Amino acid sequence: MTAIGVFVATRWELAAVRQAFATSEVQTVGGIRCVVAQQGQVAWWVIPMGVGPERAATTARRMLAEQSFAAVWSTGFACALGPAEIGQVLIGTQVTMEDGREVGRPVPCAPVFVDWVRRAVQEQRVPVQSGRFVTVPRVLCRAEEKREVAARVGGIGLDMESAALGGVASEREIPFVIVRTASDLVDESLPLDFNLFLRPSGWVKGVAACLAHPTSWIGLNRLRVQSRVAATQLTAVFSACAAQALREGLA
């Protein structure tokens, strides 16, 4: 049995991946509740890592100390840094950490898995891009911030976990790949400062911000619709990957 570690940040992303499989079960490893779907000779472990690089690295180290994986996948939603549509599939070829002061050393993705995933997705005629990802330590809420990163670093996708997760996988010499779908675009600002929700007691401050700015509900509804599109595409991606793995095995 070949095990693939599919790491996601949120329960919405986990639900989207789980939807691709007819059956699954919950297993707890290192105190982490994972969803495991077995199809043929492949076990897809969907692992919630939390939001941000620190949580991603901590979860990865705990999991990889207990469970062996043939590959580690960073999966979920992302901001598209270049021309794209909502739901666009973004496959990383490498990822760098960017904290506003300096750009970290690139973490490469395994070319064999990049090509394997691209082929699985393209067979379903789903639009796909591949290229560099950028990981940042906080949510970039303003379009100006996103454009600055795109101009300074380049790349196709922006997230908050992939560089940290890829760094841990690299330490253990485990093949790594990024497979995400676009839930927001480089030229659109988010309706709230979502960093509020990542802090202690942040939900209280986040709700207060919504109440203080009622117009933010319009933007939140737009983002909810876009996230649904991204989730649907993420399910399609993993349906395609699972089908290809059944037909011909993994890369």
DSSP per residue, the chain: -EEEEEEESSHHHHHHHHTTSS--EEEEETTEEEEEEEETTEEEEEEE--SSHHHHHHHHHHHHHH---SEEEEEEEEEESSS--TT-EEEEEEEEEB-SS-BPPPEEP-HHHHHHHHHHHHHTT--EEEEEEEE-SS---SHHHHHHHHHHT--SEEESSHHHHHHHHHHTT--EEEEEEEEEETT---SS-GGGGGSTTHHHHHHHHHHH-TTHHHHHHHHHHHHHHHHHHHHHHHHHHHHHHHHH---
Structure tokens at 103: 């750009």
Identity (one letter) of the amino acid at 19? Q
Residues with Cβ < 8 Å from 63, sequence gap 6 or more?
5, 29, 30, 32, 34, 47
Residue 169 has what pLDDT? Answer: 97
Q: How many CB atoms are closer than 10 A to CB 146?
A: 24
Q: Domain segments of the chain: what residues?
A: 76-248
User: Residue 217's pLDDT is what?
Assistant: 46
**Which of these, 15, 17, 178, 222, lies nearest to 90 by C-alpha position?**
178
Block residue for tokens 């497979």: 179
pLDDT digits (tens, 9 = 90+) for 132-156: 999 999 889 889 999 999 998 889 9
Q: How far apart (Å, rounded) are the C-alpha atoms in residues 121 and 130? A: 12
Q: Are 242 and 39 a contacting pair, CB within 8 Å?
A: yes
DSSP string, 208-242: HHHHH-TTHHHHHHHHHHHHHHHHHHHHHHHHHHH
In this prediction, residue 182 carries a pLDDT of 97
Residues 140/149, Cβ–Cβ less than 8 Å: yes
Give pLDDT, residue 249: 85
pTM score above 0.85 = yes
The CATH class of 76-248 is: alpha beta
Low-confidence ranges of the chain (pLDDT < 50): 201-211, 217
